[in-house]
Structures are given as C-alpha cells and as structure tokens.
A = this chain, B = another copy of it.
Amino acid sequence: MPLCAGTLPSTKQMLSTRPQSINAPAFSKAHSSFYQVLRASCTRGNARTLIVQATDRTVMIGLAADSGCGKSTFMRRMIGVFGGSPHAPEGGNPESNTLLSDMATVICLDDYHCLDRTGRKEKGVTALDPKAQDFELMYEQAKAIKEGKSIDKPIYNHVSGLLDPAETIKPPKIMVLEGLHPFYDERVRDLYDFKIYLDISDEVKFAWKIQRDMKERGHSLESIKASIEARRPDFEAYIDPQKKHADVIIQVLPTQLIPDEKEGKVLRVRFIQKEGVNFFKPTFLFDEGSTISWIPCGRKLTCSFPGIKFFYGPDTYYGEEVSILEMDGQFDKIEELIYVESHLSNTSAKFYGEITQQMLKNSQFPGSTNGTGLFQTIVGLKIREVYEAVVETTVKSAV
C-alpha cells in the first residue's frame, strides 16, 4: 500500500525545474572545474589526434545504518580524506540534514520520509518502515544527481518532526546517501558505485544507548530496553536485511579479549569486504587469502590490558565470498597505529602513514583508538579510490 502517495509534491515537481540538457548538464562550479568539458578534433599532417574529454559523472556512495550508530562520525572521517571541512548548506534551512564539502555532498535519507512524525503516528508505522519512505522520489532524485542534474530535495525536520520546504542540491563529485534504507529499493541500489553498511550489534547498541540516554539524559534502564525492543521487529524486517547488498560491512561487536565485557568500551570491529567488487580491492593483513590472527603487542609494540588482536581471513557472507579484517581492542596511543599500518596491504593509502595521519587528524572523533575509526578511515580511502577509478573509466569509456 503506497502510503506516500499524495503526501508530498510529486516526483516531477521535486526534480529541479531549471533548464537541463543531457548533453550539457548544469554542473556546479566545483564539479565542472575538476574535469573540464571540451571536445576537439585536430588534424596535423598525417597524424589525426582526437582530444576527447568526457563529462565525468557523480560517484554514488550508499551508507546504511540504524540511528545513533555513528554515521555522522563516519561521514566526517570520509570527508576528511578528501580535504575541506563539512558544513551545512549556507543561507538555507538551519534544520537541513545535508552536509557539503569540497568534493562530497551527504544527503540524509530521512529527507525522503513521506510521512512526518504525526503521519507515522496516525498510520501506526515507525520511521524504519518502508511505508514511511518515498522510494519513488528517492530513486528519481538519486538518478538525476548521477546524471548531473540538480534536484530540489525535501527536508525532514528532526526537531519539529515535520517535512520542511525543499532545498536545491547540485550534483557533487561524490554523493553519499546515508540513512536507514539506502539499499532497500532495487532501483536505488543499482545506482551506487560503492555500498557501506554499519552493523552495530545489539549488545553494543544497548551499551551505547545506556551511556547516552541513561547516564547523559537520565532515561531509565527500562525505557531504554522498551525502546530497543519496540524498534526490533521493523529493524529486523527492513533495515538489517540490506546488509547483504553492501560491498563492505563494518560490524561492531563486544570485545572477546575481556570475558563478559558488556560496557561497549572495548570493541571488536570486523571489516567484511566483498570480493569481486568493481574498483575495490579488500585490505589484507600479511598474506592475501590466508587466515591469520595477529597480536601485535609483544617485543616491539607494548600494549596495556587487554591488548589488541587482529584477525584476517576469507569467509562467506550471505553466500558471497568476502575477506574479513578484524580488530579487537584499542591502541594506547593513535601513533602506534603506524605499526599496524605497516603490515596492512591494499589500504588504498597514497603514501605509507596516511591512515595514521588521518586518524591523528581526527583524534577527537569517537572510536579513534579502535577498529571503528580504523576501518572508517580505510573506507574513506576506498571511496577515494573508487571515485578516481570511476572518473578515469568514465573519461576512458567516452573516448
């Protein structure tokens, strides 16, 4: 049942109304300056040189995760790889969920709610339910962006719970769609160049919620448990199954280094990397394709309790071949990561030490001493590599 019908302006209305040309898309300034669009044909003597520069296209990245799972930290790390600092659209709605930076624009898929808070209450659906989401519009606008067209995208106001007037989004070099349902709709799914799923285990989610909602906001343990339980059916039905479509999954689990550790302070983080993904080579430890566990703490790197343990190995995930890189525990100092970095391969870093440099730069972000920060940073490098490969391929394919 399409609950969304009629609740918002039609798809056609939401697509930007400014004049568009498929041959000459309206690039943003930043976009067009990166690869200039020009086409020329020269003849000099017998040699005929065809100079062709194609229009590069927006590279599409999807990031799926539950609310409160550190998507914003992730985005800030990712954007950090490309340089520049993320900021909200200037002069627009202060409740805009969009983040802009020099190269990337991040859209929050909550903006495609077709039911606002009241509407969801009336219809008895949660924000996790696809019925509250306008996939038609999401698809049309994502497709438009990928084709280099600007869009007028609605804004879901998280404060008021209402749908605010649209904001114009120009096609960036890299467009990130982050939210609850980036891979739910097959048409949207097929638009991505790289798909990421942040998978926080129930135990860790619970520990984090206790930290935030009980210790910081004074909620009761019972109300936290009740809120988690209430979300569970829809989460399991609609959000969780999307992870099988992701190219990489960052799975956050309680540590195995301390028996019965439940506080979520020490984490075991698994970086599940699909094999055979275009432009993506899984990061590995020491020996590609073998199975390794590594405790770097020893004679060269000393670690305080409970230490650090890495794992790497091939596996299957929803029937597909993956390589898993895992880090349990945390660094005493971020600088020590350089020792680990020296033993990782296919990180997509442009120079030795780049991961450590990024982690140091973002040291104030949560997770900077554990696997969440490490793998988020590597994913940032991977996105850069995918971006460069796609742009290169686009240019080449147009020749």
Please list the residues of chain A having a beta carbon within 8 angstroms of any beta carbon in chain B.
Answer: 286-301, 313-314, 343
Residues of B contacting A287 in the complex (Cβ-Cβ under 8 angstroms): 286, 294, 296, 300, 343
- Copies of this chain, count: 2
Contact of A298 among B294, B297, B301, B314 (CB under 8 A): B314
| CA A334 to CA B50, docked complex, whole Å | 55
8 smallest beta-carbon distances between A and B, as pairs: A289-B299, A291-B295, A289-B298, A290-B298, A293-B293, A286-B286, A289-B300, A290-B296
Known A286-B286, A286-B343, A343-B286; judge A294-B291 contact (CB<8 A): yes
Residues of B contacting A299 in the complex (Cβ-Cβ under 8 angstroms): 288-290, 314
By the criterion CB–CB under 8 Å, are B300 and A313 in contact?
Answer: no
| CA A298 to CA B299, docked complex, whole Å | 29
- Please name the residue on chain B nearest to A297 by beta carbon: B290
| CA A286 to CA B290, docked complex, whole Å | 13
| CA A249 to CA B300, docked complex, whole Å | 24
By the criterion CB–CB under 8 Å, are A313 and B289 in contact?
Answer: no
Residues of B contacting A313 in the complex (Cβ-Cβ under 8 angstroms): 295, 298
| CA A301 to CA B313, docked complex, whole Å | 13
Residues of B contacting A300 in the complex (Cβ-Cβ under 8 angstroms): 287-290
| CA A299 to CA B289, docked complex, whole Å | 5
By the criterion CB–CB under 8 Å, are B292 and A292 in contact?
Answer: yes
By the criterion CB–CB under 8 Å, are A295 and B294 in contact?
Answer: no
Q: How far is the CB of A299 from chain B (nearest CB, A)?
A: 3
Residues of B contacting A288 in the complex (Cβ-Cβ under 8 angstroms): 299-300
| CA A292 to CA B296, docked complex, whole Å | 8
Given contacts A288-B299, A291-B295, 12 further A-B contacts (CB under 8 A): A286-B292, A286-B343, A290-B295, A290-B298, A290-B299, A291-B294, A291-B297, A291-B298, A292-B293, A292-B295, A293-B293, A298-B313
- Please name the residue on chain B nearest to A300 by beta carbon: B289
Residues of B contacting A295 in the complex (Cβ-Cβ under 8 angstroms): 290-292, 313
Residue among A290, A300, A343 facing the most chain B CB atoms (10 A cut-off): A290
| CA A287 to CA B343, docked complex, whole Å | 8
Q: How far is the CB of A33 from chain B (nearest CB, A)?
A: 42
Residues of B contacting A290 in the complex (Cβ-Cβ under 8 angstroms): 294-301
Q: How far is the CB of A217 from chain B (nearest CB, A)?
A: 42
